[in-house]
Amino acid sequence: MTETNTRKTFKNELLAYLLLTVGSALFAIGDVMFVNPYLMAPGGTYGLSNVFNTLWPWKISFYAICMDIPLLIIGTWILGPKFGIKTIISTILIFGFTYLLESLWGYNPVIHDGAIAAAPVEGLSMVQIPHGGGWFAPDYFLNTVVAGLIYGVAIGLIFRSGATSGGSDIISMILHKYTKISLGTLVMIVDGIITLSTLVAFGDIRLPIYSVIIIYIEGKVIDLVVEGMKSYKTMFIVTDNTEAVRDYVINDLQRGGTCLTGTGLYQGNERKMLYVTLDRADMVKLKSNLHRIDPKAFVNIMDSAEILGTGFRALPKE
C-alpha cells in the first residue's frame, strides 16, 4: 500500500470514529433528554430500559448494558462475528454518554409547555417527571418530532461510520435464522412489542402512538444522513429514435447509460431500450426533451434508493 493510500485510509478511519462518537453522544441526548422524560420507548434495548427505569428506578445505561452485552455474546455465538469492533465501541460509547447525562442532567425534559410547577393544575393533563423534578404540561408532538430528528441523525451517523445498532436487532437476526419470517418484519415485531410495553406499563395509549411516530421520523432522517439529500431516478426508455436520445444523454447531460435489446410482446418486433440513472434535475430535462426527440417514446421512471459505481458513490471496499 502506498503512502498516499495509507494516509487516505487513516483519514477515513478517523472520520468514521468521529461520526461514531458524535452519533453515540446524540443518541444519548435524544434518549435521556427527550424520550425518557415523556415515558416513550421507540424500540431497542434503550426503549425497554426507559420503561424499566421509570417502573423500577435504576439508571437507563445500566439496564441497557445488562441487555446489550449478553445479546452481543449470544449473537456472536449463534450468528458468528458479524458485528465488528465498531459496533462494540458504539455500545460502550452510548452507555458512557447515557450514564454521564443521567448523572449530570437527570431525567428532566427539555421541551415542555408552560412553567414547571410544584404541583399539577387541576383539570389540566399533566405528566410527572420521573424520580422527582416537579410537574409539567407536556408538548408531546413537538417533543416527538425533535426526538425523532435527533435519533435519526444519531443512528444515521453510526451507520455511516460502519457500525450497526446491535441491541434488540440481534434478537431479530437470531429469530430470522430459525424462521422463514423476513428480517424487516421481525425487526418491526420486536420493536413493536417494546413500544407497546409503554401501554402495558403506564396505561396511556398516546405513548405507543408517539413512539411509533418517533420511529417513522427516525427512519426518514436515517435515509437522509446515510444516502444524502441527492435524489436519483432510473429511467427505462423504449424508443425508435435510440441514437438521438443517446446523443442527448451523453452530450447534453454528460451522463452514461446502457442500451438493451428486447422484443415487444404485442407484435414481437425487436426494440431498443435505454437504461439511465440521473439526478432529479437531469431527469426533468430528459423527460422534457423526449417529447421533441420521440413523441411516441415509452418511459418508466423509478426512484433509486442507492446508486453505486462510476459517476455516483464509490463501491464499498468490504
Sign of torsion over alpha carbons 253, 257, 263, 264: negative
- Grid cell in block for residue 303: 426512484
Q: What is the pLDDT of residues 108-120, one digit of tens each?
A: 888 876 544 334 4
Closest by Cα among 41, 23, 170, 167 to 97: 23
Q: What percent of the chain has pLDDT over 70?
A: 82
pLDDT-wise least confident of 38-42, 109-113, 141-145, 225-229: 225-229
Max avg pLDDT among 17-21, 247-251, 266-270: 17-21
Q: What is the pLDDT of residues 156-192, one digit of tens each?
A: 888 888 776 667 777 877 787 788 776 667 777 888 8
In order of their start, the domains of the chain are 3-227 (no CATH), 232-304 (3.30.70.120)
Quick one: how far is CA 66 from the chain centroid? 24
Q: Which amino acid appears at position 166 of this protein?
A: G
Quick one: how far is CA 260 from the chain centroid? 35
pTM of the model: 0.72
- Write down the mean pLDDT value for the chain: 80
Largest CA distance in the chain: 81
